[in-house]
Amino acid sequence: MTQLGRILVIGATGHVGRHVVAQAVGAGVKVRVMVRDPGKALVPPGVDVVRGDLADPASMEASLLHVDAVFLMWPFLTGDGATEVLDVIKRHAARVVYLSAAGVDLDLDRQRNPIFEFHAALERAVTATGLEWVILRPYSFASNNLGWAARWRTGVVRAAGGAEVRSVIHEADIAAVAVRALLDDGLIGTRPELSGPEALTTEEQAVAIGEALGLPVRFEEIGQAEAREQAVAAGYPDDLVEALFDGAGTFAVQPVTSRVEEITGQAPRSIRQWALDHAEAFR
Ligand SMILES: NC(=O)c1ccc[n+]([C@@H]2O[C@H](COP(=O)([O-])OP(=O)(O)OC[C@H]3O[C@@H](n4cnc5c(N)ncnc54)[C@H](OP(=O)(O)O)[C@@H]3O)[C@@H](O)[C@H]2O)c1
């Protein structure tokens, strides 16, 4: 957008979306959010809150009136309904910024796990709209570590894949790139791969969070079966657990990229910073 128009944020109550809203407001942009329950949405003053549901594309029309660019995340585990959602977006907006995932490979007929499969479907649907598009491909979110928070005080973190190396990214850095993608023209037609500043094993992430908070923990490696049971017990929906564990080990080592700094001018935040920003959840 060459002039500051109005953006619509979908997924505005989520990990990334809430930062997109806050940072876009900070940039002086008119922001609207589309949420399923406006009564529950906590947004900064001045943000326009409109009810709408991705599962019912017709319900999205009101949220899209006079919108120039849309931040779209996809909360479902299949691409069903994506074309219908994008048809509605296309009738109103000029640009869509889609939150995909690093690891999607559009040259493959079949993606390496069900999560990449729906993101590939969405990426294809987004690029087929004829709209200006930017597709964000972040590596693992640091916010995945919130799964440890409730039991942090026990002093023990139990997880599978302790040696898996991830270049975890703070959700605020994904949002910072999203805001640039919504407002500037330089990223149109690109798929930046976004990472945090360092690649850490799962165990190293636990140690770093403990050090940052002054609440050290011992890391205990568990098997995939126990980790799956732990995820179910923590309330993750069955289909998400299946998809997550189907994707376990997808990357031997996630790379560190320089894209966040190149795009935003700021070095990406560390896992320690992320821990401090989420300290309340761990105490
Ligand atoms: N976690 C990772 O490591 C990782 C890595 C790469 C990509 N991703 C992708 O990032 C996305 C998740 O982003 P996130 O973590 O920011 O989201 P999140 O925290 O899981 O939040 C989900 C958002 O979706 C909204 N939502 C759910 N169902 C909806 C519906 N039917 N209509 C409209 N809104 C709906 C929720 O709003 P309400 O519930 O308030 O209505 C909420 O704002 C996923 O597509 C995931 O595959 C994740």
Q: What angle do CA 88, 89, 94 make, to 5 degrees?
A: 140
DSSP secondary structure string for all residues of 186-200: TTTT---EE--SS-E
pLDDT of residue 4: 65
Choosing from 9, 141, 169, 257 the residue with most ligand 1 atoms within 8 A of its CB, the one to mutate for a pocket test is 141
pLDDT of residue 248: 66
**Span from the CA of 121 to the centroid of ligand 1 (angstroms):** 16
**Span from the CA of 171 to the centroid of ligand 1 (angstroms):** 12
Q: Could you give the CA distance from residue 211 to residue 198 in angstroms, rounded to a whole number?
A: 16
Is 57 a pocket residue for ligand 1 (Cβ < 6 Å)? no
Is 167 a pocket residue for ligand 1 (Cβ < 6 Å)? no
pLDDT of residue 14: 97
Domains, the chain, ordered by start: 6-139+171-195+256-267 (3.40.50.720)
State how far Cα 205 lies from the chain centre: 19
Q: Which residue bears the tokens 């991705």?
A: 54
Is 101 a pocket residue for ligand 1 (Cβ < 6 Å)? yes
Closest C-alpha among 99, 43, 51 to residue 71: 99
Q: Could you give the CA distance from residue 279 to residue 283 in angstroms, rounded to a whole number?
A: 6
* List of residues 6+ apart from 83 with CB closer than 8 A: 125
**How many Cβ atoms from other residues are within 10 Å of residue 268's Cβ?**
26
Kindly state the DSSP code that residue 103 receives in the 8-state scheme: T
> Which tokens sit at 281?
């959840």
Q: Could you give the CA distance from residue 120 to residue 117 in angstroms, rounded to a whole number?
A: 5
Tally of residues, the chain: 283
pLDDT of residue 3: 62
CB 164 within 8 A of CB 251: yes
Is 75 a pocket residue for ligand 1 (Cβ < 6 Å)? yes
Each residue's pLDDT tens digit in the chain (283 positions)? 546 689 999 999 999 999 999 999 999 999 999 999 999 999 999 999 999 999 999 999 999 999 999 999 999 999 999 999 999 999 999 999 999 999 999 999 999 999 999 999 999 999 999 999 999 999 999 999 999 998 899 999 999 988 899 999 999 999 999 999 999 999 999 999 999 999 999 999 999 999 999 999 999 999 989 999 988 888 888 888 988 888 666 667 999 999 999 999 999 999 999 999 999 999 9
Q: Determine the atom of ligand 1 nearest the C-alpha atom of 55.
A: 31
